[in-house]
Structure 1
Amino acid sequence: MAFDFSKVGEQFQFNCTQCADCCSGDQTVLLNLYDLYKLARQLKLPNTQLLFERKILVLKLDEENHVFRPQIRFKTKPLKFCPFLINEWTENNQIKGWCQLHPHAKPLVCALSPVGIRLDSRQDQLEFLLVPPTSNCPGLKEPVIQSLEKYLQPYKREIEWQTDFFKILEICKSKNWT
């Protein structure tokens, strides 16, 4: 299922409010190979296979690319949420969401949110898209203007690896390796 999201310009409006809406509910956190490595290292696991054996991750069919991809397995009781989410009450009686993986092991898709990445394989070029984490993301209403270049800079190398991963997915798709 392909989604149509607008391309991000040189600047965009966003400031995370730590509401944790993007870490709960029916969210899908698809991971790349480097995310697996970071997660296993953070959890002090000797290999990434244990992430699946311990049911931290599951394989999910990526319907757009017709390949299986690793995904964080959300907890389901009492509510659906990411197992790495920590909620705290603020002094103002509001819930703030904190990621246990932040900053070094956070999956790239989470770290870049609300910016998504898509590879245009015909032109071998990345597209950066505005992908609202949730339909009512309060961070998109914050009056903070972000520079796309500065926003992406800390993740430049990971984005290059993500691009390589996308290219591998394209090869799998072209060979019907599902």
Structure 2
Amino acid sequence: MTARRARLLDAAIEVIGAGGIRALTHRAVDAAAGLPSGSASNLFRTRDTLIEGVVERFAERERANWERLAAGAQPSSARELADLLSRFAYLSTHEQRTLTLARYAILTEAAIRPPVRAQLLATGARVNAWATGWMRAAGSADPGRDAPLIMNYWTGLVLHQLAMPDPSFDPAERLRALVEAVLTAAEAS
């Protein structure tokens, strides 16, 4: 990806994260990137191609954030997995808040745009593979079942914090309880 393309897509993520999907225009992206008018439309001829680029870029940035956080981590227990997910939830709602808000706006867009949905399913497959592997490493007897349960809760927890910020947000206790309950239930069945 060229530096100019990345700059424009990062600016588009900022526009969406600050104002929602409706705020996304070529002109708004140019302004946010500090580039001359027409810069975004030269690379992304339509709004749809701009949105496709945004999905690609935010998936790349989230993957890099996750890999930095998880570098060398291999959770070998429910508690370690919950603690890692807690750190990622905190990062997603603080330092990476705008990126996360853009992700949720794009997820909503996927409900009405099949091409965006297909693109998200492709990038989401990698996330699902990580989650499943981590469930297995943490002791899940059924990681294919447990990963969606835990990650869907995580998604809702993060969304709730973004929508109604709690200054004392600390998801660790709730995530530990959930992860331990799910992994224990899998062992019992």
TM over 0.5: no
Structure number with the higher strand fraction is 1
TM-score (normalised: structure 1)? 0.30
Larger radius of gyration: 2
Structure number with the higher helix fraction is 2
TM-score (normalised: structure 2)? 0.29
